[in-house]
Amino acid sequence: MTAATWDVRRFTTVPSTNDWLLERAREGAPAGVVAVADHQSAGRGRMGRRWEAPPGRCLLVSVLLRPVAPVAELFTCTAAVALATSDACRLLAGVQPGVKWPNDLVIGDEKVAGVLAESDGAAPGGRPGSVAVVVGVGCNLDWQPPGATSLAAHAKAPVGRDELLEAMLGGLAERAALLDTGAGRRATLAELRGRCATLGRIVRVETAAGGAVTGVARELDGDGRLVVATAAGDVAVAAGDVAHLRPAASQAVQAAHGPDG
């Protein structure tokens, strides 16, 4: 996929760019359709939460991907979009957000963007590329909800919504093409590991199943799960919310990673 293949649809207001694009995906829209809105009246976040932002103060965008990939590896779509968004922030705001597992972008420990990936639910095992993955990003331009940050708080000059979108889609074109091969997906995962702000931290994870896990965030496994070293051994978490408690003492990290780190 090249940057020229993005088909960008613009909205003044829409309930949710993810919802709009999921509908188009169910109708058979091809990879590369992008929905961007000034405002969402029913924007959605992870784990059933709302995503709210005043008009024009947040990049609100969703992209449709149709990778030729096993279902277990579709999480790399989210990673590709998170990494491309982080790169665009570095390019335009001069600050490179890290990826807080599973897919928040953070500057220090403050969230600047959230990523929500959803599938059209097409049966796994269909023809290659038949599964649609809609990945939505909300990135705070000069909107700073409580406890979060914005690009404006870190950049020397204001960052425009459209220039951020262009930079993000430019980088994502190459990254999306990588998702069609095992080697490309492994490279994406390796990059995600390198830019993951959660690894090496002492964390408390509220799991999607309703439990809690506390320990050292040790690894992202091949399925994108966060492996937490706890007093009772390693626990791999597939979905949840993470609180970064503090950096792990170097000895504890070494013990968790082994002597070679």
Q: Is 62 in the site for ligand BTN (CB under 6 A)?
A: yes
- Helices 182-194 and 161-178: angle between axes, nearest 10 degrees: 130
Residue 145 structure tokens = 């909800």
Q: Considering only 54-62, 77-85, 94-102, 217-225, which stretch makes contact with ligand BTN by CB under 6 A?
A: 54-62
- Is 198 one of the binding residues for ligand BTN (CB under 6 A)? no
Which segment (5-13, 25-33, 58-66, 237-245) binds ligand BTN by CB under 6 A?
58-66
Report if residue 10 touches ligand BTN, rule: CB under 6 A: no
d(CA 69, CA 56): 35
Q: What distance in Å separates the CA atoms of residue 70 and residue 89, rounded to the nearest whole number? A: 30
Taking CB under 6 A as the binding criterion, the range among 10-18, 79-87, 149-157, 171-179 that sits at the site for ligand BTN is 10-18
Q: Which of residues 31-50 bind ligand BTN (CB under 6 A)?
A: 40, 43-46, 49
Q: How far apart are CA 237 and CA 119, in angstroms?
A: 20
Give min distance, CB of 114 to ligand BTN, in A.
2
- Minimal CA–CA distance to 207: which of 101, 132, 124? 101
Residue 97 interacts with ligand BTN (CB under 6 A): yes or no: no
Q: Reduced to 3 states, what is the DSSP secondary structure of residue 165? A: helix
Beta bridge partners of 227: 219, 236
Q: Quick one: how far is CA 74 from the chain centroid?
A: 12
Secondary structure of residue 119 in the 3-state scheme: strand
The yes or no reply on residue 136 touching ligand BTN (CB under 6 A) is yes
Closest-by-Cβ residue to ligand BTN is: 114
Distance (Å, rounded) from C-alpha 147 to C-alpha 170?
Answer: 30
What 8-state DSSP symbol labels residue 154?
A: T
Sign of CA dihedral 142, 113, 218, 207: positive
Rule CB under 6 A: choose which of 116, 131, 165, 220 binds ligand BTN: 116
Min separation Cβ 46 and ligand BTN, Å: 4
Q: Closer to ligand BTN by CB, 115 or 131: give it.
A: 115
Instruction: Decide if residue 242 touches ligand BTN (CB under 6 A).
Output: no
Measured distance CA(179)–CA(184) in Å, rounded:
6
- Output the smallest distance, CB 259 to ligand BTN, in A: 36
Q: How far is the CB of 212 from ligand BTN (least distance, A)?
A: 19
78 near ligand BTN, judged by CB under 6 A: no
Tell me the number of residues near ligand BTN by CB under 6 A.
20
Sole binder of ligand BTN in the list 1, 6, 16, 89 (CB under 6 A): 16
Give me the half-sphere count of Cα atoms (radius 13 Å) on the Cβ side of residue 124. 6
- In terms of DSSP bridges, do strands 33-40 and 201-207 run parallel, antiparallel, or are they unpaired? unpaired
Q: Cβ 49 to ligand BTN, closest distance in Å? A: 6
Interface residues with ligand BTN (CB under 6 A)? 16-18, 40, 43-46, 49, 51, 60-62, 104, 114-116, 136-138
